[in-house]
Amino acid sequence: MNRLSAYQVASIRILCSGLVLIPFANKALREVPRNKLFLVILSGLIGSFVPAYLFCIAETRIDSSLAAILNALTPMFTILIGIGFFQLQAKLIKIIGVLIGFIGLTLLMANSGRIGFQHLSYSSLVLAATILYGLNVNMVSRYMKGVSALHIATVAFVFLIIPCLVILFSTGYFDLPLTTQPFVLSTLAAATLGIMGTAVASIIFYMLIKRNGTLFASTVTYGVPFVAVGWGVWGGENISLIQVGCLGIILVGVYLVNKK
């Protein structure tokens, strides 16, 4: 084996997120209310830890561009979970938006089913991650209004350092030839993703949730598919016009869901 496994990539990502935030841990642990400590740790688990593994596993079988398109459903699941469990009020236009979004998703999955049920099952891992994102956004907005965004991210990710180390040990990461170029580059890529794409991005995301609300914060996923599709095309992935059209339908639905 000359590459990292999905579990190792996700573990390095979350591990580095925690390591870079260690300097803030002492103050964060002192200032996070004890009655909210469990919720902060739970936020890290459902909002970053589990989705990181779901995405990495899914992208061993599906293109990153498809994963990003599916990720655009995050705002939709945010409002559905908010309506179902957090007493958010739903207007007719939001319900229409949800229906349009699911039509786009159905068309996308039908077009992407060319490699069978296995493809569908791996795509469902991304959908599960977006559901967790939606749950996390609602939970942070509802129960952590008085907690600093930096403190939420710090406590959540520092707590996850030990589980990540356990997974890396159990998957044999430290027995690999880590000084060889393929593993050095892979580890650096995963670490960069963890520091910038998880630790820093999570702090900014928590700030958006607290300042502008759940739906506004979740709309950052609007831009993700376009960036990812661009990188996918540059990296040689095959992006069909039908997939782009389905992305457009999904984004129309998401726009209606978030339209005031």
* Residue range 169-207, pLDDT digits in tens: 999 999 999 899 989 999 999 999 999 888 998 888 788
How far is residue 202's CA from residue 193's CA, in Å, rounded to a whole number?
A: 12
How far is residue 259's CA from residue 101's CA, in Å, rounded to a whole number?
A: 14
Provide the residue type at 105 as one letter: L
Q: Phi and psi dihedrals of 63, rounded to 5?
A: -70, 150
* Mean pLDDT calculated for residue range 146-156: 91
pLDDT at 123 over 80: yes
- Rg, the chain, Cα only: 19
pLDDT confidence of 119, banded at 50, 70, 90?
low
CA atoms in the 13 A half-sphere facing the CB of 221: 28
Question: 130, 73 in Cβ contact below 8 A?
Answer: yes
pLDDT, residue 89, reads 72
- Residue pointed to by tokens 């739906």: 215
pLDDT, residue 114, reads 47
Nearest to 64 by CA among 249, 254, 238, 242: 238
pLDDT at 49 over 90: yes
Provide the residue type at 255 as one letter: Y
Q: Which range (50-64, 122-136, 234-248) has the least confidence?
A: 234-248
Q: Using one digit for the tens of pLDDT, what is the confidence trace for 12-29?
A: 999 999 999 999 999 999
Look up residue 260 and give its DSSP letter: -
In the chain, DSSP assigns E strands to none
pLDDT, residue 116, reads 44
Q: Is 172 left (phi over 0), alpha (psi -120 to 50) or beta?
A: left
Q: Using one digit for the tens of pLDDT, what is the confidence trace for 75-107?
A: 778 888 888 888 777 677 777 877 787 787 677
Q: Which two tokens stand for residue 257?
A: 């869901």
pLDDT confidence of 142, banded at 50, 70, 90?
confident
How far is residue 45's CA from residue 223's CA, in Å, rounded to a whole number?
A: 24
Q: Where are the alpha helices (DSSP H) in the chain?
A: 6-21, 25-31, 37-44, 50-58, 64-71, 74-85, 92-111, 117-143, 149-159, 161-170, 181-192, 201-212, 214-218, 223-234, 241-258
Q: Which range (1-10, 37-46, 73-82, 218-227) has the least confidence?
A: 218-227
Look up residue 171 and give its DSSP letter: T
Share of the chain above pLDDT 90, in %: 42
Start-to-end C-alpha separation, the chain: 51
